[in-house]
Amino acid sequence: MTNDQIDHNKKIVDSFIQELFTAGDLGAVDRYLAPGFVDHDPPIPGAPDGAEGLRRVAAMFRAALPDWHSVPDQMVGEGDIVVERFVARGAHRGELMGVAPTGKAIVLAGINVFRLEGDMIVERWGRLDELGLLRQLGLAPPA
């Protein structure tokens, strides 16, 4: 795979993240995720498999944190794989995971690995700082 194709894949992943999570455009799921998309690590328990799970996660975060935005700290590509390390943040203005709004800034760091076929994302693996999120919401004891 050429460097141009790897750069193109990185742009696809960044556009997907920015449109879905930062802009709150739930239609990004339909534009960027292939039919049969597999999410190996769904971000929230009980979310449906695949693309619909990511759509629900984005809707949940946007409802609770209307100014939610994701900033990629690093994007690395090799072949059909793009790895994104990010920090997302927003003000807690709506209920999130059963917690009433606090107005405080919520910060979530994570790493996603995406596999693309052509211009579509076909798989995702990810790790989010779930414990850090739970601590910020008061659902886990401080460190």
What pLDDT does residue 25 have? 98
What pLDDT does residue 1 have? 80
* 143 lies in some domain: no
pLDDT digits (tens, 9 = 90+) for 46-80: 778 899 999 999 999 999 999 999 999 999 999 99
* 141 lies in some domain: no
Residue 51's domain spans which residues? 3-136
Q: How many domains does the chain have?
A: 1
* 66 lies in some domain: yes
In sequence order, the 6+-apart residues with CB closer than 8 A to the CB of 36 are: 50, 122
* 51 lies in some domain: yes
- Could you tell me if 87 and 107 are in contact, meaning their C-beta atoms sit under 8 angstroms apart? yes
* 92 lies in some domain: yes
pLDDT digits (tens, 9 = 90+) for 80-139: 999 999 999 999 999 999 999 999 999 999 999 999 999 999 999 999 999 999 999 999
Read off the pLDDT band of 4 (50, 70, 90): very high
Where residue 131 sits, what CATH number does that domain have?
Answer: 3.10.450.50
What pLDDT does residue 46 have? 76
Beta strand 33-39 with 120-128 is parallel
HSE value, Cβ hemisphere, 13 Å, CA-based, for 1: 16
- The yes-or-no verdict on residue 42 having pLDDT over 90 is no
What predicted TM-score, i.e. pTM, was given to this entire model? Answer: 0.93
